[in-house]
Amino acid sequence: MGFWLFLLLLVVIGCGVYFCHRLKLIEEDIRRDLAADENNEEAPPQEETPVDSGPAEPVEMEHREEASGPAEQILTLVQREPGIKQTELYGRIPDQPRKSLQEQLRKLADDGRLRRVKKGSSYQLFPA
């Protein structure tokens, strides 16, 4: 009887060690994936050069329009609701990542098109 309890104890300890090791491997994979995602977000996107697909100017114009799209949405919302909190703005423009909106807000404030007032842990936004 004592032998079987000892054997059962060894099996339980062995399983514990195995699952602990397995969880550490999974955690390392997750951390590696997160680090790779952060590196991809911080790196500027590489521009692909089109191969004889027409003039380069219309492509640049389309790119500028896309870049000004979120900025125009932000300015429209702030003009409609002066004093809106920056955190509330994130929910109003769900198709844009929060980091992208933060960059747009900083750029608009630096350009003088928007005024940001620190209020607690967030900012209140006002038209300039």
Answer yes or no: is 91 within a domain.
yes
The reply to whether 74 and 117 lie within a common domain is yes
| pLDDT tens digits, one per residue of 113-128 | 888 888 877 888 998 8
Strand, coil or helix: 77? helix
Greater confidence, 21 or 65?
21
Answer yes or no: is 56 within a domain.
no
Count of domains for the chain: 2
Domain housing 82: 69-127
3-state secondary structure 27-73: HHHHHHHHHHHHHHHHCCCCCCCCCCCCCHHHHHHHHHHHHHHHHHH
For range 4-12, the mean pLDDT: 94
- pTM of the model as a whole: 0.45
CATH number at residue 94: 1.10.10.10
